[in-house]
Amino acid sequence: MNATTDDSMRDDSTRQNLPRISRRIASIAESATLAVDAKAKALKASGRPVIGFGVGEPDFPTPDYIVQAAVDAARQPRFHRYSPAGGLPDLKQAIADKTLRDSGYSVDLAQVLVTNGGKQAVYQAFAGLLDPGDEVLVPSPFWTTYPEAIRLAGGVPVEVFAGPEQGYLVTPEQLDAAITARTKVLLFVSPSNPTGAVYGPDEVRRIGEWAAAHGLWVVTDEIYEHLTYDGVPFTSIATAAPALGDKVVIVNGVAKTYAMTGWRVGWMVGPKDLIKAATNLQSHATSNVANVSQMAALAAVSGPLTAVEEMKVAFDRRRRAMVGGLNAIDGVECPTPHGAFYAYADVRALLGRKLGGSTPTTSAELATLILEKVEVAVVPGEAFGPSGFLRLSYALGDEDLAVGVGRLQEFLSSAG
Ligand code: PMP
pLDDT tens figures, 307-350: 999 999 999 999 999 999 999 999 999 999 999 999 999 999 99
CB-neighbour burial class of residue 202 (10 A; exposed 0-12, middle 13-18, buried 19+):
exposed
Residue 170 lies in a domain: yes
293 and 361, same domain (yes or no): no
243 and 105, same domain (yes or no): yes
Does 193 contact ligand 1 (Cβ within 6 A)? yes
Helix/strand/coil for 59: coil
Does 253 contact ligand 1 (Cβ within 6 A)? yes
Residue 39 in this model has a pLDDT that exceeds 90: no
Pick from 36, 145, 264 the residue to mutate for probing ligand 1's pocket: most ligand atoms within 8 Å of its CB: 145
> Cα separation of 44 and 256, whole Å?
24
225 and 356, same domain (yes or no): no
> Cα separation of 194 and 53, whole Å?
12
86 and 186, same domain (yes or no): yes
| Residue 333 near residue 349 (C-beta atoms within 8 A) | yes
> Cα separation of 261 and 311, whole Å?
14
290 and 151, same domain (yes or no): yes
Does 194 contact ligand 1 (Cβ within 6 A)? no
Q: Give 65 Cα–ligand 1 centroid separation in angstroms.
A: 23
Residue 135 lies in a domain: yes
Does 56 contact ligand 1 (Cβ within 6 A)? yes
**277, 301, 325 — which closes off a domain?**
301
Residue 273 lies in a domain: yes
**301, 336, 358 — which closes off a domain?**
301
State the pLDDT at residue 3: 47
Per-residue pLDDT, averaged over 213-231, amounts to 98
297 and 310, same domain (yes or no): no
Does 227 contact ligand 1 (Cβ within 6 A)? no
> Cα separation of 254 and 237, whole Å?
20
Give the lowest-confidence range in 7-21, 82-96, 262-276, 370-384: 7-21
Residue 47 lies in a domain: yes
The CB density around residue 365, as the number of other CB atoms within 10 Å, is: 17
> What confidence tier does 8 reach under pLDDT thresholds 50, 70, 90?
low
297 and 392, same domain (yes or no): no
Pick from 138, 256, 344 the residue to mutate for probing ligand 1's pocket: most ligand atoms within 8 Å of its CB: 256
363 and 272, same domain (yes or no): no
What one-character DSSP code corresponds to residue 379? E
Residue 293 in this model has a pLDDT that exceeds 70: yes
289 and 364, same domain (yes or no): no
Q: What is the pLDDT of residues 156-189, one digit of tens each?
A: 999 999 999 999 999 999 999 999 999 999 999 9
Does 334 contact ligand 1 (Cβ within 6 A)? no
Q: Give 1 Cα–ligand 1 centroid separation in angstroms.
A: 52
Q: What is the mean pLDDT of the chain?
A: 94
The CB density around residue 348, as the number of other CB atoms within 10 Å, is: 18
Residue 125 in this model has a pLDDT that exceeds 60: yes
Strand 389-393 to 342-346 pairing: antiparallel
| Short-list 226, 234, 292, CA closest to 72 | 292
Q: What is the CATH number of the domain that holds 279?
A: 3.40.640.10
Query: 393 φ, ψ to 5°?
Result: -85, 135
Q: Domain range holding 324?
A: 25-55+306-412
Does 391 contact ligand 1 (Cβ within 6 A)? no
Q: Give 259 Cα–ligand 1 centroid separation in angstroms.
A: 12
**254, 286, 301 — which closes off a domain?**
301
Q: Give 118 Cα–ligand 1 centroid separation in angstroms.
A: 5
